Amino acid sequence: MPAETEEIPEIDMSQQSEAVVAEQLVSALTTVGFCYAVGHGVPQETVASAFAESAGFFERPLSEKLRHRRDWRKSTCGYIPPHWASTSDPDEPPVERFSLDAPPDEKEVLDVCHTCDDTVWPSKSFRKASLDLISAAQDLTLRLMRLIGGGLGLSPPDQLADAFVGFPTPANTSQLRMLHYPPLSTDTNGSASGDRCGEHTDYGCITLVFCDSQPGLQVLSRTGRYLDANPRPGRVLVNIGDLMQRWTGGRLHSARHRVLAPTDPKLRSQPRYSLVYFTHCDDDFTVRPLLGDPDSFPPVKTGEHMRRRFEETFQLGQGIDPQLPPL
């Protein structure tokens, strides 16, 4: 694809045969690593309800939100406050950041999953809205896995989806992340002080991103150009994570991406929300290349891979368990 015509493709999953959708998915996730899905079957009212509960939670005073703070020594679920609210408390989650060379991300987060402790949930209505979206997102994930398996010519094509049999039990830690990027101040030259979310790849298999109307998400193409991800009602942004890239022997592409802070003063004064569903294989499932050179990536258990990546993101290599195998 010529650099000047690069874009994130849109795939309608409802108006075409499964064979055509599978071919388009594999093409998009090989060349760009991202695509928009429409006609995907996730009810818009389910998405809207989760957005409303998320916004209501983030509007609460910080002291209330901290009651649901993540116990980072025991769990990957819970509230992560903005970097400016961090203290030296050893029981507090470390600041999440992807590089020491850049300012911390301008965001706050609530991570939830189907097996969260009751202390994580702000309310019964929040829990219901989240679990409804998780259920719908997981159904879409399994459908995507089967389509991708068929598009890649795997036999049987269901073998990708079969690595998620542990859902919805603690054996599978797929997770919904609710993100709030607060309004930003405008400095004297009107420029952004830092990224809302630094450049990174996702850890797992497939990520589903439900965005509000605010721009900012950009995908780094294979030619080194940043492609704008344009939000639109009914669209779900689908992308490949590192585990899926390993699993397909590098055939599918885990693209780097970021969320930029806007320079437009009007946009800087507005919050940005997104709901991101990260899907992972069952924790004890060993990922090894199914395509190409079987030695292109060493085998790794999903749980070990995820644990190491969380360590790297929150502690930037400090205190990583030496027993974990290299990635």
H or E element in which residue 28 lies: helix 18-31
Prediction pTM value: 0.90
In the chain, what percentage of residues exceed pLDDT 90?
63
Q: pLDDT of 159-183, one tens digit each? A: 999 999 989 889 998 999 999 999 8
Where do the structural domains in the chain lie, given as residue ranges? 10-85+94-314
Q: pLDDT of 7-24, one tens digit each? A: 999 999 998 899 999 999
**Rounded to 5, what percent of the chain is helix, strand, coil?**
30, 20, 50
Work out the burial of residue 6: count CB atoms within 10 Å of its CB; fewer than 13 is exposed, 13-18 middle, 19 or more buried.
middle
Looking at the predicted structure, is the pLDDT value of residue 86 above 80?
A: no
Looking at the predicted structure, is the pLDDT value of residue 262 above 90?
A: no
Place of tokens 């079987």: 294
Judge whether 239 and 217 are in contact, CB under 8 Å: no
- Give the chain's mean pLDDT: 87
| Model pLDDT, residue 323 | 39
Query: Which tops the pLDDT comparison, 211 or 22?
Result: 22
Our CA dihedral for 118, 63, 176, 229, rounded to 10 degrees, sits at: 170
- Which CATH number applies to 10-85+94-314: 2.40.10.10, 3.10.180.10, 2.60.120.330, 3.30.70.1140? 2.60.120.330
Q: Please give the C-alpha separations between residue 221 and each of 6, 13, 23, 57, in angstroms, as whole numbers.
A: 8, 24, 20, 35
With vertex at residue 182, the alpha carbon angle to CA 179 and CA 183, rounded to the nearest 5 degrees, is 145
| Model pLDDT, residue 292 | 93
Looking at the predicted structure, is the pLDDT value of residue 289 above 60?
A: yes
Judge whether 208 and 238 are in contact, CB under 8 Å: yes
Q: pLDDT of 25-79, one tens digit each? A: 999 999 999 999 999 999 999 999 999 999 999 999 999 999 999 887 788 899 9
Sign of CA dihedral 289, 140, 197, 31: positive
Task: Compute the residue count for the chain.
Answer: 327
Q: What is the CA radius of gyration of the chain?
A: 19
| Model pLDDT, residue 100 | 56
Looking at the predicted structure, is the pLDDT value of residue 192 above 60?
A: no
With vertex at residue 292, the alpha carbon angle to CA 290 and CA 298, rounded to the nearest 5 degrees, is 65
Amino acid at residue number 197: C
In the chain, what percentage of residues exceed pLDDT 70?
85
| Model pLDDT, residue 89 | 63
Looking at the predicted structure, is the pLDDT value of residue 214 above 90?
A: no
